[in-house]
């Protein structure tokens, strides 16, 4: 997995969640799609409610994640990913600084 | 000032400073130059030491800034900017959520 996205547009205004425990910037692709590149600070225990379906790709760090409807938390590390259904939610516990790429739809 | 940078590359890993009080992502331009798009959380009072000269353009929010060598703090808001000399430093106090673009060199 490359450490950059090329030939994109990037939003100058950050997306700040949970008082800064999660911060991302929006990335826009030539095909009109959007992703975010984001970070979750170490020790954060957050619950995200999603609208459109989301693919969360962990690019660095370790986190425990429980997706709504699943029985237990699973551990995700760099190079792994999980999907969240439309209007779903997930709990994420960052063991250290977690970087991710979120894709929508 | 546009709210996006077009035709760029963006790093997937965030730059995290002061335990997350400042978070940015790196943006790479076709001419080889680099900028960061970043956010400073409300109430943060930070001191940055710089290597290469920096141009800090505030894109949203209000902050008080004292550049090393200057006698007093000055207030900067969206659309204003300040320069920091090579190997200089600056104190920045975020009155609210401050977004910025930092250019180097």
For the stretch A44-59, pLDDT in tens is 999 999 999 999 999 9
Length of chain B in terms of residues written: 105
Contacts of B12 in chain A (CB under 8 A): 2-5, 37, 59, 99, 101
> Rounded to 10 degrees, what is the CA torsion of B73, B75, B78, B80?
-60
Task: Give residue A74's pLDDT.
Answer: 98
Neighbours of A23 (CB within 10 A): 26
Sign of CA dihedral A90, A91, A95, A96: positive
For residue A96, give the DSSP letter.
S
Separation in Å, CA of A6 to nearest CA in chain B? 4
What Rg value do the Cα atoms of chain A yield, rounded?
Answer: 13
With bands split at pLDDT 50, 70 and 90, how would you rate the model's confidence at A42? very high
- Tens-digit pLDDT profile for residues A66-86: 999 999 999 999 999 999 999
Residue contact A11–B4, C-beta within 8 A: yes
Cα–Cα–Cα angle for B49, B82, B93, rounded to 5 degrees = 60
With a cut of 80, say whether residue A1 has pLDDT above it: no
Residue contact B39–A23, C-beta within 8 A: yes
CA distances in angstroms from B78 to B3, B56, B75, listed in the order given: 12, 11, 10
Task: Give residue B44's pLDDT.
Answer: 98
Which residue bears the tokens 């205004």? A13
Question: Could you list the pLDDT tens digit for every one of the 105 residues in chain B?
Answer: 789 999 999 999 999 999 999 999 999 999 999 999 999 999 999 999 999 999 999 999 999 999 999 999 999 999 999 999 999 999 999 999 999 999 998
Neighbours of A19 (CB within 10 A): 9
Which residue bears the tokens 């190079």? A79
Nearest beta carbon to residue A37 from set B5, B12, B38: B12
Residue contact A6–B9, C-beta within 8 A: yes
Task: Give residue A69's pLDDT.
Answer: 94
Structural domain boundaries in chain A: 27-104
Contact B44/B30 with Cβ under 8 angstroms?
Answer: no
Q: For residue A10, give both structure tokens.
A: 């990037």
Nearest CA in chain A to B3: A12
Third-level CATH fold of B9-104: Jelly Rolls (2.60.120)
State the CATH class of domain A27-104: mainly beta
Nearest beta carbon to residue A97 from set B11, B16, B28: B16
Task: Give residue B69's pLDDT.
Answer: 94
């Amino acid at each position: 997995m490359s450490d950059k996205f090329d030939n994109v547009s990037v939003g100058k205004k950050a997306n700040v969640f949970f008082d800064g425990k999660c911060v991302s910037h929006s990335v826009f692709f030539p095909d009109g799609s959007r992703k975010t590149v984001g970070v979750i600070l170490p020790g954060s225990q957050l619950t995200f409610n999603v609208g459109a379906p989301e693919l969360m790709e962990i690019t660095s760090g370790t986190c425990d994640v429980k997706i709504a409807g699943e029985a237990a938390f699973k551990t995700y590390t760099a190079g792994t990913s999980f999907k969240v259904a439309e209007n779903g939610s997930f709990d994420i516990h960052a063991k250290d600084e977690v970087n991710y790429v979120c894709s929508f739809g």
